[in-house]
Amino acid sequence: MRAAVCVRPGAGRVELRDLPEPAPGPGEVLLAVRACGVCRTDLHLLDGELQDPQVPVVPGHEIVGEILALGAGVTGLLRGARVGVPWLASTCGRCAFCRRGAENLCVAARFTGCHRDGGFAERCTADARSCLPLPSGYDDAHAAPLLCAGLIGHRAWRLAGEAEVLGLYGFGAAAHILAQTATLAGRTVLAFTRPGDLAAQSFARSLGCTWAGDSTALPPRPLDAAILFAPVGALVPLALQAVRPGGTVVCAGIHMSDLPSFPYRLLWQERVLRSVANLTRADGDDFMALAARVAIRTHVQVYTLADASRALSDLRSAVIEGAAVLVP
């Protein structure tokens, strides 16, 4: 099979290679990859910013696949079914976090496209327990961003509390989905983009944001909560300054540049600064049920597998409106 491979984390690129087709082990399924989203976490992997990845590894953790074969012991799934494979690949099921339903914090968690080969390929295997049913109203390419951009945005929104006025810093794949779901739920959404990015600001307003401006600007009204999708630590003090007393700032990325020092007065008055780590199976089930009920328009730019390097470069340069998706 053909695959785009991260040969050496830190090199910043992938290489197209021919690899043996994988076989499903016990508890696994073999998938024909029909689409795979391209995520900023893939860039963090290529840049050597993730801990202890498999080397070499096939990136990609927003996988839409068709089940070709079932490994020993797999029940509840059928050959020919379409499923999604997210970032969280497997957990131990035994640690204190797993036992209390917080498997996103599992001490032995393994991640798709980092600790096991992902979806930048024509075939991949996945733990059957991590496969998610996908809503039928989305074709393969438009379903792919739901599996990370959608999921992590959904979890971050839950951790932001009952925010009526929500600010989104970084208007990429995750924000363009969350802006729609939050607006449909009656929330007021404000978008913060790279300074001077008028195209992104126009895109945000087209998806229901009532205001869109530079990430360095203060919003026209205080925020109840802010979610940072941009992996820029310098935005944390700006977001804390933008939220009201008692408000929450959620850092939604798996990696972020170092936070600068900032005066305590920005955190004072019971403001909360917190992070999001991965996702749970319950998150996946809840969000896919939501995506089946409401009309989320995922905006995608499709690339072939052979163009994986160009997709990653375009993502790094922030020239993609919505999400990039590889279709083998």
Say yes or no: 144 and 177 in one domain: no
Q: Are 164 and 281 in contact (CB under 8 A)?
A: no
How many domains does the chain divide into? 2
Alpha helices in 170-234 (DSSP H): 173-184, 198-206
For residue 187, what is the domain's CATH number? 3.40.50.720
Q: Which residue has the tokens 């913060």?
A: 192
Say yes or no: 121 and 57 in one domain: yes
List, for residues 176-187, the tens digit of each pLDDT value.
Answer: 999 999 999 999
Half-sphere exposure of 116 (CA within 13 A, CB side): 22
**Cα-to-chain-centroid distance, residue 259:** 21
Element (H, E) at 285: helix 281-293
Gyration radius of the chain over CA positions: 19
For residue 72, what is the domain's CATH number? 3.90.180.10
Residue 179 has a pLDDT of: 97
- Residue 293 pLDDT level (bands cut at 50, 70, 90): very high
Distance CA 28, CA 164 (A): 42
List, for residues 273-282, the tens digit of each pLDDT value.
Answer: 999 999 999 9
Say yes or no: 111 and 254 in one domain: no
Of 308, 250, 245, nearest to 33 (Cα)? 308
Percentages helix, strand, coil for the chain (3-state, rounded to 5) are: 30, 30, 45
Say yes or no: 162 and 207 in one domain: yes
Please name every residue paired with 245 in a beta bridge, in sequence order, or none if there are none.
none
Write out the residue range of the structural domain in which residue 63 sits. Answer: 2-148+278-327
Of 89, 131, 167, 107, nearest to 288 (Cα)? 131
Round the average pLDDT of the chain to a whole number and report it. Answer: 96
Query: What is the model's pTM?
Result: 0.94
Asked if the model's pLDDT at residue 51 lies above 90, the reply is no
Asked if the model's pLDDT at residue 295 lies above 90, the reply is no
Q: Which residue has the tokens 């749970």?
A: 280
Identify the domain boundary among 275, 290, 312.
275
Say yes or no: 33 and 122 in one domain: yes
List, for residues 99-120, the tens digit of each pLDDT value.
Answer: 999 999 999 999 999 999 999 9
Say yes or no: 59 and 164 in one domain: no
Region 44-68: mean pLDDT is: 96
Say yes or no: 212 and 307 in one domain: no
Say yes or no: 113 and 200 in one domain: no
